[in-house]
Structure 1
Amino acid sequence: MSSFALFPVAAQEEQALTPPDAELAPIAYLFDVTSGQILFEREADRRFMPASITKVMTTFLAFEWMEEGKILPQQSFTIRPEIWKKWNNVGSTMFLPHDARVSVDDLVHGVTTVSANDGAAALADGAAGSVEEWVAAMNAKAAEIGMRDSHFGTPNGWMDDGHTFVTARDLTTLATQMLRRHPTKYRHYVGHTEFTYNNITQPNHDPISGVVPGADGIKTGFTNQAGYGFLGSAERNGRRLVMVVAASPRARDRNRAARDLIEWGFSAFDQQRLFAPDVPVAFAEVQGGASSDVALVSPHGIFVDIPAGGHRDVKLTVHYDGPLRAPIRKGEKVARLVVSIDGMSDYTIPLAARDEVPEAGFGRRILNGMLGWIS
């Protein structure tokens, strides 16, 4: 384990670390994807019904399957009669005809932009062979990316007696993975102000896109049981924030809370880059390798958010179970960096091996043995 401290970051006048209108959203969470920091949280691990925010997992799974070649944007599905009968004009819809043959691209746009319940069900059934198989894949993917306290019972979030539930922390994990793994697909499908299908144009009810500078999604949700919620994101000057507000009693409360929270996140903190992507943060000792150490890097760089106007000490501590044993793959996550900022919660960033370290050959093993004996 090693550690080192950085100089305090100074500014003029420190702001309060509580966003305005916080009471309008009983559940609230603000996360800086760029730095990995939690900027604000309230009831972050409280389970709640996400309603149509469920469709973000359907969208993410569609992105994953596109990437794997399981489905293609230009591919078309014929809507089965039982799917059409169950979801025709149920809640938000893209008005799929009973005999529609519709592309994956249109279905995903319908899901992300107009919250199409029929589109989500048609996508699930067409891609996986049944809605049940798709939902099982949703839950498997949620577990894979670390959504530890969420479960999905439908592809669209329609009321299902509480079988579908999430937490704000888990939704932020989902959004972060979507943004990092699929930035091109995210830009193509998320954040549009309207969508036209079958000559019917409908607006997106996203409360921040087109209103908050840099905002580009992601998804609203509402049922009488769930109240009003929103999973949103915005980017300014290379800095990406993700936020959740949920359980608001009125749409205007949710919308105001969402806008105020994301604006506060950009204004209340100053961000500094400490290390560029793939620049060594530290070196870890390696045993039995062609090299005696390996550089530890963050593929996304190391950033810190400091409350605007304050003096805060920043301490970085590298942890790994060492010495590491060869072979080590390039990009393998082998250590973690704990960032401690005075007066704020610690957070952890995974560190990866910058280079491959193969096992040592015979001559290198002899040299390593001699060096170890000398030391």
Structure 2
Amino acid sequence: MKRQMITVMVGLLFAVTPAQSPRALEQDRSVPQPPQAQAVPIALLVDIGSGQVLFQREADRRFMPASITKVMTTFVAFELIEQERLHPETVLQVSERTAQDWRRIGSTMFLDTGDRVTVDDLLHGITTVSANDGSAALAEGAGRSVASWVALMNGAAVKLGMHDSHFGTPNGWTDGGQTYVTARDLATLGTAMITRHPSKFRHFYGKREFTYNGITQSNHDPITGRVAGADGIKTGFTNDAGYGFLGTAQRGGRRLMMVVAGVDSARARDQAAVSFMEWGFASFGGRRIFPTGHIVGSARVQDGNAADVGLRLGGPLNLSVPQSSQANVRLRVVYDGPIQAPFTTRDEVADLEVSIDGMPPYLLPLYPDRAVARANPAWRVLNGLAGMFR
């Protein structure tokens, strides 16, 4: 199979030279760094609509997420609710073991043995007040055991492509290094939660306080209520992990996702979180390149009942472009071809490489605009003859 490359010309779009892997690149110094950047050992800021990395530092370095682990517990619950294997109104009973192990340990809902709590309340306790006992009660009650729930968490991580992450607990309590993540993997998780479960995300995240059993507690989220459009997601802290945050905000149709981790103090983390998000919206402007369904190129087909196929993105292409310069945008279709039939419109058959001056290049999946079946013998002969003249 030969690597095919097609340059796409739209406005200020030009041919590009082969680029390094986006995972290997750190922030290009031609784009100003966010304020507070030097105070953050691990950081990532992405535009989840376009997949662009706006800033990164040590994005693939493993670290202990502490309570940010609970985002995966919430995601697993959302998936089970979507599959109708779990229901928000279901009542779970707190076991003696969970109550003893987590009574007033760290952040808590103050659950006690025998308490009957709905899944909805447990999820609000986890997402708003970071309840360690609520996470354990949900895991044990909905997963039949904490170990089984943790297995669901790790299975979900594999399916999402979180290749550098592993979970040992449902709440992120220090576990001897069994639980670790990367900033890039957390951004993947946060993106999946919002795009797959938007209504559940709005229902459970972005609340400033939560009252359960007569006790009202505040959310420690440093950006919701302070940054326009911010609506979550989760802070984390242990002595071993330091201070971290996975957060998101949406303005004008653009949603940014941010990770900061390994910070020395809550104040420094909170300042950095606000600074990074404001910088992301102020320093980059949105540019519409293609609408949904636009055919960005075509690819040759082998052994199919069509000689070629159009290539499209899964949605519109809206890019974040640096405000401070007239940055050139370069697009290139790349695929191993000819593409072997059969395939459907849901199969990823090519990539669109996006390169913007001063930013790391990255790839977006491309899908065929129509399904192509395997050709009958006569079609294969015709395709073979046609290929001789290409």
TM-score under structure 2 normalisation? 0.90
- What residue identity is the alignment partner of 2:102? W
Provide Cα deviations, 1:211-267, integer angstroms capped at 9, x if missing partner: 100000000011122111110000011101000111211111111100000000001
Following TM superposition, by how much is the alpha carbon of 1:294 offset from its aligned partner in structure 2, in angstroms? 2.0
Aligned pair 1:273/2:288, yes or no? Answer: yes
Match of 1:77 in 2: 92
CA distance in 1, matches of 2:340, 2:61: 40
CA distance in 1, matches of 2:389, 2:246: 58
Q: 1:153 aligns with which of 164, 168, 172?
A: 168
Following TM superposition, by how much is the alpha carbon of 1:171 offset from its aligned partner in structure 2, in angstroms? 0.8
Following TM superposition, by how much is the alpha carbon of 1:309 offset from its aligned partner in structure 2, in angstroms? 2.8
Match of 1:222 in 2: 237
Match of 1:65 in 2: 80
Match of 1:12 in 2: none
Change (3 A) 1:373 1:4: closer
Match of 1:2 in 2: 6
Q: 2:146 aligns with which of 131, 155, 164?
A: 131
Match of 1:32 in 2: 47
The 5 A counterparts of 1:179-194 are 179-194=194-209
- What residue identity is the alignment partner of 1:224? N
Following TM superposition, by how much is the alpha carbon of 1:133 offset from its aligned partner in structure 2, in angstroms? 1.1
Preserved contact between residue 165 and residue 180 of structure 2 (Cα < 8 Å): yes
CA distance in 2, matches of 1:373, 1:240: 47
- What residue identity is the alignment partner of 2:287? Q
The 5 A counterparts of 1:159-308 are 159-308=174-323
Change (3 A) 1:78 1:323: same
Match of 2:332 in 1: 317
Following TM superposition, by how much is the alpha carbon of 1:350 offset from its aligned partner in structure 2, in angstroms? 0.8
Q: 1:351 aligns with which of 366, 372, 381?
A: 366
CA distance in 1, matches of 2:273, 2:39: 9
Preserved contact between residue 47 and residue 166 of structure 1 (Cα < 8 Å): yes
TM-score under structure 1 normalisation? 0.93
The alignment partner of 1:73 has SS state of coil
Preserved contact between residue 61 and residue 183 of structure 2 (Cα < 8 Å): yes
Unaligned runs of 5+ in 2: 14-29
The alignment partner of 1:312 has SS state of coil
CA distance in 1, matches of 2:346, 2:101: 47
Provide Cα deviations, 1:275-323, integer angstroms capped at 9, x if missing partner: 1222211112222323322221112322222211312222111111111
The alignment partner of 1:274 has SS state of strand
Q: Which 10-residue stretch deviates more, 148-157 or 68-77?
A: 68-77
Match of 2:18 in 1: none
Aligned pair 1:107/2:156, yes or no? Answer: no
Following TM superposition, by how much is the alpha carbon of 1:325 offset from its aligned partner in structure 2, in angstroms? 2.0
Change (3 A) 1:313 1:81: same
* Same amino acid, percent of matched pairs: 54
- What residue identity is the alignment partner of 1:350? P
Unaligned runs of 5+ in 1: 10-14
The alignment partner of 2:267 has SS state of helix
CA distance in 1, matches of 2:56, 2:306: 43
Q: Which runs of 4+ in 1 moved over 3 A?
A: 5-9, 360-375
- What residue identity is the alignment partner of 2:313? S
Preserved contact between residue 63 and residue 181 of structure 2 (Cα < 8 Å): yes
Match of 1:141 in 2: 156
- What residue identity is the alignment partner of 2:177? G
Provide Cα deviations, 1:172-217, integer angstroms capped at 9, x if missing partner: 1111111121111111111111112222221111000011000000
CA distance in 1, matches of 2:345, 2:58: 38
CA distance in 2, matches of 1:330, 1:7: 28
CA distance in 2, matches of 1:16, 1:278: 31
CA distance in 2, matches of 1:341, 1:227: 34
- What residue identity is the alignment partner of 1:340? S
Match of 2:23 in 1: none
Match of 2:70 in 1: 55
